[in-house]
Homo-oligomer: A and B are copies of this chain.
Amino acid sequence: MVLLSYGGGGYEMDDFLKNFVLKNLFLEQENGLSNDAAVEDGFKNIAFSTDSFVLNPIFINGANIGKIAACGSINDVLMMGAMPKYISLALILEEGFSKEKLKIILNSFANELKQANVKLKCGDLKVLPKGKCDEIFINTTCIGDASAFTNTINPKEIKSGDKIILSGDIARHGACVMANRNNFECNIKSDAKCLINEVSQILKIGGVKCLRDATRGGIASVLNELSLACNLEFLIEEEKIIVSDEVFAFCELLGFSPYDLANEGTFVCIASANKAEELCAKLQEFNPNSRIIGEVQKNKATVILQSPYGLKSVLQSPKGELLPRIC
C-alpha cells in the first residue's frame, strides 16, 4: 500500500523510489537519477511532447495506464517525424494505492520503453491524501531527435490531390474503455500500441506530408484539425473506414459514432498521391485494415463523408461531453 510519507521528500521517499519504483522499471539506480534533472546528449532539432494520463479504469482489455502513458507521448513525438529518445515519468498516487497494481503499471511502462528504445531520464513522485486524486495519474514528456525532420511533416505541406491514409480500424480504444468502465461483457481490445516500427518504415519510403494519431475526439477531430490547418476539403469514402463488427455493434447499441471515439495506436497519414499505395501497403503489414480513405480537394476546409451511394455529409468535430478519462 502506498503511504503518504512516500511522497515526503525524506527517507521513505528515497527508499520507495530506489527499492520499489526503479526496481519495477527494471532500472538500477544510476548516479544521474539522484539529481532532479538529467543531462544528456542533444540533437540539432528537438521534438517535445507532454501528456497527462487519467485513464479510468486503470486496467482495460489490452492495456493499462502505464502502457498508455508510455505509448501516448512516444507516439506524439513519432507523429512529428522525429525519433523518440528520452522520456520523463511523473507519478501522482493516491494514498493507499495498491503496490501490486503499481508494479504491473510500472512494468508495462518499462516494457514499452524497452521496445521503443526510449530511455527514462527523469521523474517525479507525489502522494496525495486519500480522496484527493483517483488511484493514479501519470504525466510523461517525451523528447525526440528531429534532426532528420525535413519540414515535409507539416500540415502546411498538404496539397489538393494528396491521399488520406488511415492506419487501421477505428474506435477500439474508446469502446474498450467504455465497455470496461461499465462492465459490459465483450472482448473489445484497446488498439493502444507504440507506433515506432510502422512510422520508421513509412518515413523511409517518403511522400509523408503529415501524421496524426486519432486519440481524444477520434478521427472526426483529427480530420477536421488537419483540414483546417491546410484550409482544404477532405473527401472521405465512408466505406473505406473499417470498424470491427464488435465495435460497430457496441456503438450502435449505445448511440456513439465510431468516428468520435478515441484510438491509441491508429493514425491518419496524409501522403503525396504517387507514394500513397506503397505507404498503405507497408502499413497493412502492421494492420491489415489500413486503407486509403480519401483525397484532399481544392475547396476550403471541411471534411466530407461520401457514402457508397454517393450521398455526401459533413463530418464535424465532436461536440459536448465525450468520454472523460479516456486516456
Contact = CB atoms under 8 A, between A and B. Distances in A.
A14 B48 contact: no
Contacts of A145: 42
A190 to B, nearest CB: 16
Contacts of A146: 39, 42
A34 interface: yes
Contacts of A216: 7-10, 13
Given A46-B42, A47-B39, A322 B10 contact: yes
User: So how many copies of this chain end up in the complex?
Assistant: 2
A8 B156 contact: no
A325 B46 contact: no
Interface stretch (A80-88, A105-113, A244-252, A273-281): A80-88
A60 B142 CA distance: 31
Contacts of A284: none
Interface stretch (A123-131, A289-297, A307-315): A123-131
Interface string A114-146: 000000011110111101111001010111111
A182 interface: no
A8 B54 contact: no
A52 B124 contact: yes
A42 B46 CA distance: 5
A79 B37 contact: yes
If over half of A's interface residues share one DSSP class (helix, strand or loop), that class is named, otherwise mixed; here it is mixed
A225 interface: yes
Contacts of A143: 46, 48, 143
Contacts of A36: 49, 51, 76, 79, 212-213
A215 interface: yes
A287 interface: no
A183 interface: no
A5 B322 contact: yes
A141 B260 contact: no
Which size class do A's interface residues fall under?
35 or more
Interface in A23-61: 31, 34-52, 54, 56
23 contacts: A5-B322, A8-B321, A10-B220, A10-B221, A10-B319, A12-B319, A37-B49, A37-B142, A37-B144, A39-B149, A40-B46, A42-B42, A42-B45, A46-B143, A49-B88, A50-B122, A50-B123, A52-B139, A54-B132, A92-B137, A124-B139, A128-B325, A129-B324
Nearest to A5: B321
Nearest to A153: B39
Contacts of A323: 8
A158 to B, nearest CB: 13
B79 A49 contact: no
Nearest to A9: B216
